[in-house]
Amino acid sequence: MEAYHEAREKFVAAAEAAGLRHMRHRVPYEDTPELFIDFALRKSASKRLLVHIGGVHGIEGYAGSLVQQKILAALPTAEHTSLLFVHALNPYGMAFHRRANGNNVDLNRNFSAGKICHNADYSAFATYLNPQSRWEFLRGGIEGALAFLRLGKAKSTMAIAMGQSDFPRGLFFTGRELQREILLFQNFLRAHFSEVEEVFAIDLHTGLGPHCGELLFVDPDLDPEAAPLFEKIYARPITRPDHKAGIYEIFGRLSNAIRAALPQAHLHYTIQEFGTSESKKVLAALRLENFEWHRRRPYEPPSAKVKEQMLAAFFPEEKAWRENLLALGETRWRQCWSHLESLHQSQ
Ligand SMILES: [Zn+2]
């Protein structure tokens, strides 16, 4: 818990020092200590908005918080573009070192407009990902390995991670109703930015891709201009969905929640992913965390072992990793900001 509070205090201080308006919204879970989504904003007269989002997957919020503090510490003074920083969209997950929220829902699989995610291959991994006992924990490990061999790496990755609506205690659960964190974010966007016409958003994640690598994803199906546009802005390639390589499309994306909240605006959205360690290690940490979480008393902090594995998988302490995170995290934000400012100049 302390790590979460410390991160948000630093974020709020950085936002206030940069002259941004800070607003917090409590995310109530029964009996939980104070958990907030913090928003920092600076509004301009233009109809362009740049949003930076951290902690959609709770534990990944530590990386997002550091990057946001860095950007805020040297915030450009030109004020043609409205700015919004969303610190810890999933504060429960951040505080308790988990990826999902306090209802075990993956907030980047939740916005489905009432649809259910039929993911038949997930059931082959269900015992592996959510064992009911120590015995099943062992048996599930073997079953998972066999399913992996049968389906192959690409199909297995997709089956596990695209989202699933059938196993509420499992990983990558879509939830069956819209989560309050998403609703709160949408309401905030509607209340403060209903007039914007162009939105750029960077949604920062960790845990996917090679160690110290950076992957950039866009929504090619909903925004065909996105890949070429961002390749120009970022001066590097965008990662395209590739089923053979196990680069999967996900169900219930957060970007669609932003589109639904700001229907008048054109959204250009990037997921920035920082790789940490091998995917099997990341998955092993998630599996152990989930197993323990369902067995802990409510609001009991994770064990030292779970915390250590989750941090290694999503927020490594290694100096080179953190430096890379900070440098590329700030660079992508600045590149989007410069692009938006250049649109203003050319008007
Ligand atoms: Zn993530």
d(CA 325, CA 274): 7
Q: Are residues 36 and 87 in the same domain?
A: yes
Task: Compute, in angstroms, the gap from residue 77 CA to the centroid of ligand 1.
Answer: 30
Task: Compute, in angstroms, the gap from residue 75 CA to the centroid of ligand 1.
Answer: 25
Task: Compute, in angstroms, the gap from residue 246 CA to the centroid of ligand 1.
Answer: 16
H-assigned helices in the chain:
2-17, 61-73, 91-95, 126-129, 134-151, 153-161, 180-193, 226-234, 254-261, 279-293, 304-314, 319-345
Return the percentage of the chain with pLDDT > 90, whole number: 80
Q: Are residues 157 and 230 in the same domain?
A: no
Q: Are residues 214 and 328 in the same domain?
A: yes
Residues 6+ apart with CB under 8 A from 36: 8, 24, 25, 26, 27, 88, 91
Task: Compute, in angstroms, the gap from residue 343 CA to the centroid of ligand 1.
Answer: 30
Length of the chain: 347
What are 46-74's pLDDT values in tens digits? Answer: 899 999 999 999 999 999 999 999 999 99
Task: Compute, in angstroms, the gap from residue 150 CA to the centroid of ligand 1.
Answer: 27
Single-letter residue type at 34: E
Average of pLDDT values for 326-344? 96
The continuous run of DSSP H or E covering 84 comes out as strand 82-87
In a domain, 321, yes or no: yes
| DSSP one-letter code for 252 | S
DSSP string, 86-110: EE-SSHHHHHTT-SS-TTS--TTS-
Q: How many domains does the chain have?
A: 2
Domain membership of residue 11 as a residue range: 2-110+179-288+305-345
In a domain, 47, yes or no: yes
In a domain, 166, yes or no: no
Other C-beta atoms lying within 10 Å of the C-beta of residue 79: 15
Q: Are residues 90 and 193 in the same domain?
A: yes
Task: Compute, in angstroms, the gap from residue 273 CA to the centroid of ligand 1.
Answer: 7
Q: Are residues 224 and 92 in the same domain?
A: yes
Q: What is the CATH number of the domain that holds 206?
A: 3.40.630
Task: Compute, in angstroms, the gap from residue 187 CA to the centroid of ligand 1.
Answer: 22
Q: Are residues 32 and 147 in the same domain?
A: no
Task: Compute, in angstroms, the gap from residue 204 CA to the centroid of ligand 1.
Answer: 7
Task: Compute, in angstroms, the gap from residue 57 CA to the centroid of ligand 1.
Answer: 5
User: What is the model's pLDDT at position 246?
Assistant: 61
Task: Compute, in angstroms, the gap from residue 203 CA to the centroid of ligand 1.
Answer: 9
Average of pLDDT values for 89-106? 97
CA–CA–CA angle 78, 52, 165 (5° rounding): 160
What are 148-207's pLDDT values in tens digits? Answer: 999 998 889 889 999 999 999 999 999 999 999 999 999 999 999 999 999 999 999 999
Q: Are residues 244 and 156 in the same domain?
A: no
In a domain, 167, yes or no: no
User: What is the model's pLDDT at position 274?
Assistant: 98
d(CA 157, CA 279): 9
Residue 283, judged by CB atoms within 10 A of its CB (0-12, 13-18, 19+), counts as buried
Give the pLDDT band (50/70/90) at residue 112.
confident
Task: Compute, in angstroms, the gap from residue 100 CA to the centroid of ligand 1.
Answer: 9
The answer, as to whether pTM is greater than 0.85, is yes
Q: Are residues 201 and 264 in the same domain?
A: yes
User: What is the model's pLDDT at position 222?
Assistant: 84
Q: Are residues 130 and 191 in the same domain?
A: no
